[in-house]
Amino acid sequence: MTDMTSILKNVVIVLSFVIVTSACDKKSEMEFNDAEFCSCLTIEDIHKTIPIVNEFLSVMPKGISEEQKFQSLAKWLKAFPCIIETTFLRNDFGIWPDHKICGIAFSFEEDGIVKKLSLDFSPTNLQEIVGYIYDKQNKIHVGTKLTKMDEVFGFINSLDLDVKEIKNGTYISSFPADSTNLKYIRSNLITKPYTNEVWVTGQLNWYLPGITFFVRLYDMKVKDYQEDWIKTMSEYNLIKYVFGPEDVIVFQIPEGTGKQWEEKFRKYSFVRWAETSYTRYYLP
């Protein structure tokens, strides 16, 4: 008798979930048609879809798991003709450790470019989103084997692309290795308009003569900056440390052209690798 009661109870729960979910779908269809949602599906107007998504979330059954919620949300989003695909964000970094799925992303096309957004849930209420996270693919990281700065700048100048930064710059100064010279050189390097104090560090070597400096350079498409850096290297007896980490040049590229630029860069004999990257924006 107890087993039969338990079975009937489970059947009632399942039927309740189906009924509520169906009501949710009908309510969403009645209040928000495809044209209304899709007309807002641009980066500029995406904020107008927030109440539409939150309306769907608000009428979902309270007893379902987070994974069930994400699955229902993904199915609902995918039903809109303007959505290309939906994907689950997996719990790879310990976020919400009880859940294998920790979010939803979807893609759509705007001006001929496929764009991907992930839903930004409220940290205190997973039944509500506060916006979207937009990873705009407008950068490319290029690792090179170039050993001289004039070669690096020649490579940069041959391309009609702005340079965000040059990472991993490692330089050895032949100045006497003492703390006075280390502080003196560093204090002068951080005043440059193309450096950042956080990314200019130095250390006294126990295995190499001189002082090692780690410098990240910004906006090095500017010719005046290039000339000044060459002059600065001469002034402080800096040479590139060729056995250190390879230079990584971060170029700014038009959104949606990453694959083409990856193929182009990989054809250079001195390029080790090239990978499209992004700038993250929180919308709205």
DSSP the chain: -HHHHHHHHHHHHHHHHHHHHHHHHHHHHHHS-HHHHHHT-STTTGGGGHHHHHHHHHTS-TTS-HHHHHHHHHHHHHTSTT--EEEEEE--SSSSTT-SEEEEEEEEEETTEEEEEEEEEETTEEEEEEEEEEEEEEEEEEEE---SHHHHHHHHHTSS--EEEEEEEEEEE-S--SHHHHHHHHHHHTTSTT--GGGEEEEE-SSSSSEEEEEEEE-TTSHHHHHHHHHHHHHTTEEE-TTSPPPEEEEE--TT-HHHHHHHHTTSTTEEEEEEEEEEEEE-
Q: Quick: pLDDT tens for 138-159.
A: 999 999 999 999 999 999 999 9
Band of pLDDT at residue 9, cut at 50, 70 and 90: very low
Q: Domain residues of the chain, as ranges?
A: 2-137, 146-245
Lowest mean pLDDT of 19-33, 84-98, 217-231, name the range. 19-33
Summarize the confidence of residues 18-42 as an average pLDDT: 61
Q: Quick: pLDDT tens for 247-270.
A: 999 999 999 999 999 999 999 999
Mean pLDDT score of the chain: 87
**What pLDDT shows up at residue 92?**
56
**What pLDDT shows up at residue 22?**
42
Q: Quick: pLDDT tens for 109-128.
A: 999 999 999 999 998 888 89
**What pLDDT shows up at residue 136?**
97
Q: Which CATH number fits domain 146-245: 3.30.70, 3.40.390, 2.60.120, 3.40.50?
A: 3.30.70
Q: Which residue has the higher pLDDT, 111 or 101?
A: 111
**What pLDDT shows up at residue 207?**
79
**What pLDDT shows up at residue 245?**
84
Q: Quick: pLDDT tens for 161-216.
A: 999 999 999 999 999 999 999 999 999 999 999 999 999 999 998 777 899 999 99
**What pLDDT shows up at residue 19?**
36
Q: Which residue has the higher pLDDT, 244 or 247?
A: 247
Whether 14 shows a pLDDT value over 80: the answer reads no
Q: Which residue has the higher pLDDT, 213 or 100?
A: 213
Share of the chain above pLDDT 70, in %: 85
**What pLDDT shows up at residue 20?**
37
Whether 10 shows a pLDDT value over 70: the answer reads no
